[in-house]
């Protein structure tokens, strides 16, 4: 089943991906700090969430919705703890730019965690039989996305960090350690809930869509930082990190397809 055929067979996930792409392209066309840019941030994240949920639901049914909700609840708790104590991401504060908020934490942040976890789960589903290496690869791929995400969101004024001597483009390195730990938990949750015993018959092609979504994120984010956000270092490091994760997923998927044949 080709990627194009997969997109045609799953219109809800495909439409969500198209909406995400259009919103990402439109974002730098508006001035920073304007309402249009904040609205587009919501569209991008909710579009990604649609990609993750709809593609996972095609493969796992209602368990995908439960997985998304579980990740959102867990990560909201982590973000609430982090913004108040500095653990596990380091010292940071959310601004009032994104809404709605609960306890000072934008609910969109938990949606982003659920979206990327489900997308990455789709990337590495049907690649390795053992759950542990899949969880490790998922956590690395989720954290790779944050190489782009945090610098962009700080630039947009959605949150701000305390100065740190050990930082990447102003983002404390401890933040990435916190992402890996959190992503390990969210990945394990989704792998446990969306296990192969619960697979809906004849829906393997649905997991092709998350690979396309992850590739789109990597490409558009790289272009954005080169031409609009004026940081080629983030573009290079982010493209390398996400590109390596994508290459691993494709290589493992090819091996799986060959073994299946």
Region 39-68: mean pLDDT is 95
Please check the confidence at residue 260 and state whether its pLDDT lies above 70.
Answer: no
- The packing angle between helices 208-227 and 35-60, to 10°, is 160
| Phi, psi for 235 (deg, rounded to 5) | -60, -45
* Separation CA 240–CA 259 (nearest Å): 28
Percent of the chain clearing pLDDT 90 (strictly above): 81
Region 143-170: mean pLDDT is 96
Check residues 208 and 114 and name the one with the higher pLDDT. 114
104-111, long-range: CB < 8 A, 24+ apart: 104/80, 105/76, 105/79, 105/80, 106/158, 107/76, 108/41, 108/42, 108/45, 108/46, 109/75, 109/76, 109/79, 110/71, 110/72, 110/73, 110/75, 110/76, 110/79, 111/45, 111/46, 111/49, 111/72
Find out whether 123 and 210 touch, Cβ atoms under 8 Å.
yes
pLDDT per residue as tens digits for the range 217-231: 999 999 999 999 999
3-state secondary structure of 94: strand
Region 194-205: mean pLDDT is 65
105 has which bridge partners? 102
pLDDT for the residue numbered 261: 47
Please check the confidence at residue 255 and state whether its pLDDT lies above 90.
Answer: no
Q: How do beta strands 159-161 and 92-94 pair?
A: antiparallel
Find out whether 214 and 242 touch, Cβ atoms under 8 Å.
yes
pLDDT per residue as tens digits for the range 180-192: 999 999 999 999 9
Structure tokens that stand for 77 in this block: 């708790």
* Separation CA 185–CA 191 (nearest Å): 10
Please check the confidence at residue 31 and state whether its pLDDT lies above 50.
Answer: yes
Would you say the pTM of this structure is higher than 0.85?
yes
| Phi, psi for 92 (deg, rounded to 5) | -150, 165
Work out the pLDDT band at 196, boundaries 50, 70, 90: confident
Find out whether 207 and 126 touch, Cβ atoms under 8 Å.
yes
pLDDT per residue as tens digits for the range 237-252: 999 999 999 999 999 9
pLDDT for the residue numbered 197: 65
Find out whether 220 and 24 touch, Cβ atoms under 8 Å.
yes
Region 86-104: mean pLDDT is 96
pLDDT for the residue numbered 203: 55
Please check the confidence at residue 207 and state whether its pLDDT lies above 70.
Answer: no
């Amino acid at each position: 089943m080709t990627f194009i055929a997969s997109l045609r067979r799953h219109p809800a996930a495909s439409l969500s991906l198209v909406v995400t792409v259009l919103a990402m392209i439109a974002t730098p066309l508006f001035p920073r700090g304007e309402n249009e840019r904040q609205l587009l941030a919501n569209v991008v994240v909710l579009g990604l969430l649609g990609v993750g949920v709809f593609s996972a639901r095609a493969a796992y049914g209602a368990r995908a919705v439960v997985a998304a909700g579980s990740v959102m609840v867990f990560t909201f708790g982590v973000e609430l703890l982090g913004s108040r104590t500095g653990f596990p991401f380091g010292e940071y504060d959310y601004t009032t730019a994104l809404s709605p908020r609960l306890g000072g934490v934008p609910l969109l942040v938990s949606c982003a965690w659920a979206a990327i976890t489900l997308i990455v789960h789709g990337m590495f589903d049907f690649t390795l039989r053992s759950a542990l290496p899949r969880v490790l690869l998922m956590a690395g791929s989720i954290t790779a996305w944050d190489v782009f995400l945090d610098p962009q969101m700080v630039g947009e004024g959605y949150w701000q960090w305390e100065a740190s001597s050990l930082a990447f483009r102003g983002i404390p390195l401890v933040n990435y350690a916190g992402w890996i730990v959190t992503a390990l938990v969210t990945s394990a949750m989704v792998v446990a809930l969306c296990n192969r015993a619960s697979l809906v018959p004849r829906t393997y092609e649905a997991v092709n869509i998350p690979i396309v979504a992850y590739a789109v994120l990597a490409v558009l984010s790289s272009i954005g930082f080169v031409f609009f956000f004026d940081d080629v270092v983030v573009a290079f490091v982010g493209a390398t990190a996400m590109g390596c994760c994508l290459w691993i997923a494709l290589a493992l998927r090819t091996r799986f397809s060959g073994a299946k044949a």
